[in-house]
Amino acid sequence: MNDLPFAITLEVGSSHANRTGSWRVERPVYVDRMPPCNNACPAGENIQQWLFDAESGDYETAWRQLVRDNPLPAVMGRICYHPCETACNRVQLDEAVGINAIERFLGDLAIERDWTMPAPAPDTAKRVLVVGAGPSGLSAAYHLRLLGHQVQLVDGAAKLGGMMRYGIPAYRLPRDVLDAETGRLVAVGIDVRLNHTVVDVERERREGRFDAVFLGVGAQLARRVEIPSGDSSRILDAVTFLHQVADGDAPQLGRRVAVYGGGDTALDAARTARRLGASEAVIVYRRNRERMPAHGTELDEALDEGITMRWLSTVSRYEAGSIVLEKMRLNGEGYPEGTGEFEELGADSLVLALGQDTDLSLLTTTDVNVDDGVVEVSASMMASGDGIFAGGDAVPSERTATIAIGHGKRAAHGIDAYLAGQEPVVVPRHELATFERLNTWYYADAPRTERPELERARRQSSFDEIVGGLTEQNALFEARRCLSCGNCFECDNCFGVCPDNAVLKVGDGRYEINLDFCKGCGICAHECPCGAIDMVPELI
Amino acid sequence: MTRQPVHFYQVGSFAVGNRLLDRAERTIQSDEARTDSLDCGHRACQGCGEALGARYALDAAMRATSGQLIAVNATGCLEVFSTPYPETSWRIAWLHSLFGNAPAVATGVAAALKVKGRAEVRVVAQAGDGGTVDIGFGCLSGMFERNDDVLFICYDNEAYMNTGVQRSGATPPAARTATTEAVGPDPGNVFGQGKDMARLAMAHGIAYVATATVADLHDLEGKVERAMLHHGARYLHILVPCPLGWGSASNETIHVARLAQETGLFPVYEAEYGVVTGVSAIRHRTPVDEYLSLQGRYRHLFGEHGRPDIIARIQDLADENIARYGLLDPSRVLSTNGAQS
Amino acid sequence: MLRQIEGSRAVAETVARCRPEVVCAYPISPQTHIIEAIGAMVKAGTLSPCEFINVESEFAAMSVSIGASATGARSYTATASQGLLFMLEAVYNASGLGLPIVMTLANRAIGAPINIWNDHSDAMAARDAGWIQLFAETNQEAADLHVQAFRLAEELSVPVMVCMDGFILTHAVEGIDVPEQRDVDDFLPPYEPRHVLDPQHPTSIGAMVGPEAFTEVRYLSHLRQLDALELIPDLAARFAAAFGRDSGGLVHEYRTEDAATVVVAMGSVLGTIKDAVDRRRDAGDRVGVVGITTFRPFPFDAVRRALRGAETVIVVEKAFSVGFGGVLSTDVAMATHDQSLSLRTVIAGLGGRAILQDSLETLLVDGVQGRLDGVTFLGLDHDIVDRERQRIASQRRSGSTAENILGDLGVVASRIA
Amino acid sequence: MNRALGVGVVPRQREGGQSMFQVRIHGRGGQGVVTAAELLSMAAFAEGRFSQAFPSFGSERTGAPVVSFCRIDDRPIRSREPVIVPNALVIQDVTLLHQVDLFAGFPDDGYLLINTSKNFEELGLGEFVRRFDSRRLRTCPATELAQEHLGRPLPNAALLGGFAALTGQITLEAIQAAIRERFSAVAGERNAAAAAAAYQLVNETTEEFSHASTD
């Protein structure tokens, strides 16, 4: 139409001349925040990211994202105590996302599909000795290799895995899974030397011309206490007990087994005893449930299996198939003290699970500082000795496999920096993506998918895996429960809710604010489900 | 209801889009190729709910008619902020005549299209609450009664905003406006009988009547699409919060609209031929004070000289709606999202 | 073909032959016979394609016409009196949007007191609405004017109001030659809208215009009306050539050649005046008549020319501005401001009061002899007025003067004139 | 060129406007008063004369007093004033006699036709009518005739027959043609018949008068 009447009839598009952006006093800015799961993961996994990939069914990409931080997803998907789920914001909505289950699903799928690890970086001609093939050692070796260094991994045992193999019972971690992942791990080009115990790390380093060393020797020495007992009394420690079971020559324990201690190892020992045929497995612990160091889920499963507890009790004597327990009470500070009351507990054997110590004799020729039986390390896991790093149970920290894997990774990067003669780079963390920043209306309520548990009967008598995995459908469902806290997941809300059409799609899931027209109303930020938009004041 | 349920618990249910869904299953607003019927550069206030509602509804209508659409607009905020000479924000064929005659003008447009044999072109008329329930009511009722082929959309912001927030026939009880000040023993608007326009429309027995808010886009777009499947007179009543007139934060426009629904004060449902056929159930029932306290127009009900008695009366109104429409009955939910089915 | 039919019927048939595509109306006396007839033709299918819409008010009637016209349909409606006032907002809107709607106005008085009879108060109320206003002297002219009105409206994108005296013309049965379809089709090309609602070429019609451009918009519509002053005589000439009749135009002069006293008037009263003039001519008075067909735009030049030789001008009008006086008189005075003549206003025929030939003759005589006041209310019953004035003065009586007068008069319907 | 109704026409001077014949019809709403004037004008038109019919406008209420007018002329009719001085006065309803000034402007030589089965004396008009030319005054039981022919008390068509007989301004045939044009076949015939009957009646009495006068 050319002959439009003046003023009363207008052509489309003419409003673009009116740049309403000038009204704005605040502007929306897209941000990435630290999701609580990532924040809580000791292995430093980018959980939110691999869940994002898993949500679209792209499991290999998800797995590849996963193994950038953790080379043992199938293992961790079983034995990790998943602090990520404890931290998950979804807890406040319905239930945490089953991150651990999805991790295991991805790990198992990778084994099934034979996905291989990424190729190492070009050779740096630097040599690193890794002592101990437990979680920290394996992790360190893996990351060092991928960084292009030559790695020799030594361990006194006959097989890889350390405590994962010799401490954790098979019903929690099937050996084929462990073998598959450790095998794939070392296949990235790690020189493995088993049945070799390092007695003098300095000499080992010199002879092998290693530029740096990582100590992942773990805590293999069972603590013992003197218990008055008769000859007939059968007393052994949990570490040895579990190691023997793992090696396939389980000791005879009899019908009634008592386990002394309150950690996860105590539970493992008791549950293993049940599976070895003990009709009674009793755990004796000097404090109460609240103060028990073992993880709650483990205890629940144990009680489930018929393990019984003797809370607030200590073993004072063990004679003739009978243990004399002293009843304890907790004082004001919560420490147990004897009451002078005693009772008897019939037992054919007593397993001591009173904690482990680290054997650091290999350090005697070095000037590495050892304090309270463990190696002092810096933030990058560097010990005081030149080029010596350590991690896992050998350093001051909570002792879990996941933490050990995190140590291994951190140490690897520390070593990498050291070898390059640089200071280790500390990446600043994003601000935490808190629940308050979420607009949860957009998330439909959905219950968590529980992993199907084997029926109890079977569980008590065998070492079959207790906890089953997720079907693909369940895993997908579970992954899609992720709220993607603090990180855009392309829901198009900002694009749709802008009253001024001032949000642009700029391709591959990214958005931009058209500042020519954005009036700064803030609806996009308010309606962003995951809190990935901040409103920042305009500088006037 | 015909909407395909979305099975993704993460977001697909309620968010504008979802990368995990086929384009066809996402909202029209998530599509870069949407019409943007109401284009940027318009002069609506920050966070204007009406600007949002108009783009939502007309883009959906454009999609439903493959772009064969003519819109008639009554006088009011929408008209003033969208077409101040020399700039128009409309990307569609658009006509503004007067405040009270949009339904009749639309009838004329429809008649002209019919006589010219252009059946493919559809007509939408739109007005604010004043242009609908007050000054335009006569023409609207006539259009309904004749069953002219027009979809009439009311963008309800519950007062005369264009002239400075005066009370309209759609202003809720106790709300402060420039002509119902928050003073005296009965502050704010009277507790009248109200004028339930959607039910009045249903009383005409027309093919399709629905209510919606800017807070549930899937629902709103679905209703526009279904409305366009019918011929004859149809009515869509959309709640569009006005930050200026309601005294709410500009970034809470959608949030406030959502609470209007979640409290039960604004029942969201649809009806065919005078019979309610679907209801959007309340997902998280919310007491009215949570809704009221976000709005300056109700400020006089709170604080030390607050009026819990009035809040209680408003809660009663919400509860009546909940009972009347079964707003807590999940089986009645329009399955516009994956939370159901 | 000449037929003895009612004025309304003739207008309805003529409008139908103009092929309107959308017709809608709301009934009001004395317009009803027109829309009833058109409605019947649409129902019977003799007028097709056409949408006939029974609306709920005059406001809606004009609004529907606006929508239809803006969508490119030739639109027609008809109304009167209160109806015009009820739709007045939309009447202004139609001209503001430049929509070539044609509307018949069956002129009628405006209440209160409610009065269904003829005068020109309604047309005068819409005088400034931006419409072209044409006044028919006879039913033949009323019919003919509609054909010209559509062409005029569509050529200029201006709405046109054809005014015909209610009852006096609308209900009068006389010999009328309804324009033949073929001739109408030749005279009136299909409607080519200036701007139209079309999804293929979307535009925004009816923008808000501020101080920066409103004056220009108004001035432009003023110029379009001035263009009409050129186009109207041209159309009338072409119409005469095509139909063999003089109809329309700006003004008509009757025996003004040497007239010293000239009557100016609009509408059907001109016929009666012409008879009176003939009588006065017989009696030797130099009197004549100027009939104004085009009231808006007001044909200043044509009026000035027509009154060139006049010494006394008597404007007989069927409406007046309360507290002021003549409306048409004011326009005539403007047109003749530079001429030395004495201008007299005669207000006649209000609310259907019959205008009698005898009283018109008396008027002419008084005019010729210079005995006319500035403003005369023809046939005013001074006794009634005086009595009411006294009553008001005596007992501060409030309430409707009209009712008091009726009280004095007795039954109105019993009076013949 | 045909300058219908003389817009801008200069007619030849009239001889005192003698040729125009003006009729006024009084009755009540629902009695076809307006139709009567219309039919009369149609009949005149059919006979090649100029004619104009119009009602005394009012809201159309049954029973309300209604007046209609008809002008017949050999020249275009321009005047729009009501008929003040009727050449003929037709009264369809005698009950109006005492309410309305029916005889206003009625000239001494005017024609008068009243729908009644009574005579002027019985109507109490004996004194009044003496001033006039008795040959031009007639009563006619049009309602009875209507009842007889159409079974409904609609006197207008019949009165037009009487009018034709009384005034000679128009032929019965023209009246009947107009009636047939205006009404449906059956109603048309019956009304035409009623008109004919009235025509007869009035003619006969006219005959008597002429005889009487020649005696």
Mean pLDDT of C221-242: 97
Stretch among A280-289, C289-298, D2-11, D90-99 having the lowest mean pLDDT: D2-11
Q: Residue D18 has what pLDDT?
A: 52
Q: Give residue C346's identity as a one-letter amino acid code.
A: V
DSSP for A285-326 reads -SS-GGG--S-HHHHHHHHHTT-EEE-SEEEEEEETTEEEEE
- Cis amide bond preceding C112, omega within 30: yes
B189 has a pLDDT exceeding 80? yes
Mean pLDDT of C351-380: 95
* CATH code, domain carrying B176: 3.40.50.970
B299 has a pLDDT exceeding 70? yes
Q: Give residue B242's identity as a one-letter amino acid code.
A: C
Q: How far apart are CA A451 and CA A467, in angstroms?
A: 7
For chain C, residues classed under CATH 3.40.50.970 are: 2-243
Which residues are CB-contacts of C51 (< 8 A; sequence separation ≥ 6)? Answer: B111, B112, B114, B115, C21, C22, C23, C24, C42, C68, C73
- Asked if A157 contacts A195 with a C-beta cutoff of 8 angstroms, the reply is yes
Q: How far apart are CA C288 and CA C312, in angstroms?
A: 11
- Asked if A459 contacts A305 with a C-beta cutoff of 8 angstroms, the reply is yes
Domains (ranges, CATH) in chain D? 19-214 (3.40.920.10)
This model's pTM is above 0.80:
yes
Q: How far apart are CA A272 and CA A170, in angstroms?
A: 9
Predicted ipTM of the assembly: 0.89
Q: Would residue A130 be called left, alpha or beta, if left means φ above 0 and alpha means ψ between -120 and 50 degrees?
A: beta
Q: How far apart are CA B210 and CA B214, in angstroms?
A: 13
- Cβ-nearest to B108 among C64, C209, C212: C64
User: Residue C249 is encoded by which pair of tokens?
Assistant: 């135009």
User: Residue C210 is encoded by which pair of tokens?
Assistant: 């501020």
For the stretch A210-236, pLDDT in tens is: 999 999 999 989 988 888 888 777 899
Minimal Cα distance from D86: which residue of C?
A: C416
B94 inside domain: yes
Q: Domain C2-243 falls in which CATH fold?
A: Rossmann fold (3.40.50)
Mean pLDDT of C205-211: 96
**CA dihedral sign of residues A519, A521, A527, A530:** positive
Range 61-120 of B in CB contact (< 8 A) with C: 67-70, 72-73, 79-80, 82-86, 88, 90-98, 100-101, 104-117
Mean of the per-residue pLDDT values of chain C: 95
**Residues facing residue A281 across a β-bridge:** A257
Size of interface A-C (CB pairs under 8 A): 44
Q: How far apart are CA D36 and CA A108, in angstroms?
A: 106
Minimal Cα distance from D72: which residue of C?
A: C174
Q: Residue D12 has what pLDDT?
A: 35
- Asked if B52 contacts B69 with a C-beta cutoff of 8 angstroms, the reply is no
Q: How far apart are CA A382 and CA A414, in angstroms?
A: 7
Stretch among C35-49, C57-71, D114-128 having the lowest mean pLDDT: D114-128
User: Residue C43 is encoded by which pair of tokens?
Assistant: 């129902």
User: Rounded to 10 degrees, what is the CA torsion of A161, A163, A164, A166?
Assistant: 90
Number of domains composing chain B: 1
CATH of C251-377, one of 3.40.50.920, 3.50.50.60, 3.40.50.300, 3.20.20.60: 3.40.50.920
Q: Residue A424 has what pLDDT?
A: 86
- Cβ-nearest to B105 among C57, C67, C212: C67
Q: Burial code of A256-272, b = ≥16 C-beta within 10 A, e = fewer?
A: bbbbbbbbbbbbbbbbb
Q: How far apart, in Å, are the Cα atoms of A121 and each of A44, A67, A124? A: 21, 15, 8
For the stretch A348-374, pLDDT in tens is: 999 999 999 999 999 988 889 999 899
For the stretch C145-169, pLDDT in tens is: 999 999 999 999 999 999 999 999 9
Q: Give residue B324's identity as a one-letter amino acid code.
A: R
Q: Residue A248 has what pLDDT?
A: 87
B16 inside domain: no
Q: Return the closest-CA partner of residue C292 out of C157, C409, C127.
A: C127
Domains (ranges, CATH) in chain A? 14-32+488-537 (3.30.70.20), 38-115+440-474 (1.10.1060.10), 127-220+358-419 (3.50.50.60), 226-356 (3.50.50.60)
B185 has a pLDDT exceeding 50? yes
B338 inside domain: no
Residues of A with CB under 8 A from a CB of C: 1, 3-12
B13 inside domain: no
Which residues are CB-contacts of A475 (< 8 A; sequence separation ≥ 6)? Answer: A54, A101, A102, A105, A106
Q: Residue A539 has what pLDDT?
A: 86
Q: Does B145 touch chain C (CB under 8 A)?
A: yes
At C408 the three-state DSSP class reads helix
**CA dihedral sign of residues A331, A335, A340, A344:** positive
DSSP type of residue A252: P
- Cβ-nearest to D5 among C138, C244, C269: C138
- Asked if A135 contacts A102 with a C-beta cutoff of 8 angstroms, the reply is no
Helix spans in D47-184 (H): 126-129, 142-150, 156-167, 172-182
Give B278→chain A minimum CA distance, Å: 20
Cβ–Cβ of B88/A11 closer than 8 Å? yes
Question: Could you tell me the pLDDT band of residue B312, with boundaries at 50, 70 and 90?
Answer: very high
Please report all neighbours of B, defined by 3+ CB atom pairs within 8 A.
Answer: A, C
Q: How far apart, in Å, are the Cα atoms of B105 and each of A61, C61, C143, C373? A: 58, 9, 28, 49
Q: Residue B332 has what pLDDT?
A: 58
Q: Does B146 touch chain C (CB under 8 A)?
A: yes
Which residues are CB-contacts of B331 (< 8 A; sequence separation ≥ 6)? Answer: none
* Angle (nearest 5°) at CA A275 between A270 and A276: 95
Q: Does C220 touch chain A (CB under 8 A)?
A: yes
B186 inside domain: yes
Minimal Cα distance from B243: which residue of A?
A: A521
Q: Residue B175 has what pLDDT?
A: 98
Mean pLDDT of A395-411: 95
Give B41→chain C minimum CA distance, Å: 15
User: What are the strands, taking DSSP E only, across chain D?
Assistant: 21-28, 50-55, 65-73, 88-91, 111-115, 137-140
Q: Give residue D152's identity as a one-letter amino acid code.
A: R
Q: How far apart are CA B245 and CA B29, in angstroms?
A: 26
Name the more confident of D5 and C355: C355
Whose tokens are 């009726």? That residue is C406
Mean pLDDT of A29-34: 97
B244 inside domain: yes
Mean pLDDT of D43-56: 95
Question: Could you tell me the pLDDT band of residue D5, with boundaries at 50, 70 and 90?
Answer: very low
User: What are the strands, taking DSSP E only, across A353-402?
Assistant: 356-357, 370-371, 374-375, 388-390
Question: Could you tell me the pLDDT band of residue C398, with boundaries at 50, 70 and 90?
Answer: low
Mean of the per-residue pLDDT values of chain D: 87
Which residues are CB-contacts of A333 (< 8 A; sequence separation ≥ 6)? Answer: none
- Please report residues of B whose CB lies closer than 8 A to that of A445: 9, 339
Which residues are CB-contacts of A192 (< 8 A; sequence separation ≥ 6)? Answer: A133, A152, A153, A154, A160, A186
- Asked if B33 contacts A514 with a C-beta cutoff of 8 angstroms, the reply is no
Most B CBs within 10 Å: which of C208, C212, C220, as the mutation test of the B interface?
Answer: C208
Calculate what percentage of chain C has a pLDDT beyond 70.
95
B334 has a pLDDT exceeding 60? no
Which residues are CB-contacts of C39 (< 8 A; sequence separation ≥ 6)? Answer: C23, C52, C54
- Asked if A175 contacts A189 with a C-beta cutoff of 8 angstroms, the reply is no
User: Residue C290 is encoded by which pair of tokens?
Assistant: 């100027």
For the stretch A184-209, pLDDT in tens is: 999 999 999 999 999 999 999 999 99
User: How do C173-177 and D50-55 pair as beta strands?
Assistant: antiparallel
B2 inside domain: no
- Cβ-nearest to B112 among C21, C59, C212: C21
- Asked if A463 contacts B28 with a C-beta cutoff of 8 angstroms, the reply is no
A465 has a pLDDT exceeding 90? no
User: What are the strands, taking DSSP E only, across A197-279?
Assistant: 212-215, 221-222, 235-237, 256-260
Mean pLDDT of C125-144: 98
B93 inside domain: yes
Q: Would residue C353 be called left, alpha or beta, if left means φ above 0 and alpha means ψ between -120 and 50 degrees?
A: beta
User: How do B269-272 and B208-213 pair as beta strands?
Assistant: antiparallel
Q: Residue D57 has what pLDDT?
A: 65
Mean pLDDT of B128-141: 98
For the stretch D131-190, pLDDT in tens is: 898 889 999 999 999 999 999 989 999 999 999 999 999 999 999 999 999 998 899 999
Q: Which domain holds residue B175?
A: 23-332
Question: Could you tell me the pLDDT band of residue A334, with boundaries at 50, 70 and 90?
Answer: confident
- Cβ-nearest to B250 among A492, A522, A529: A522
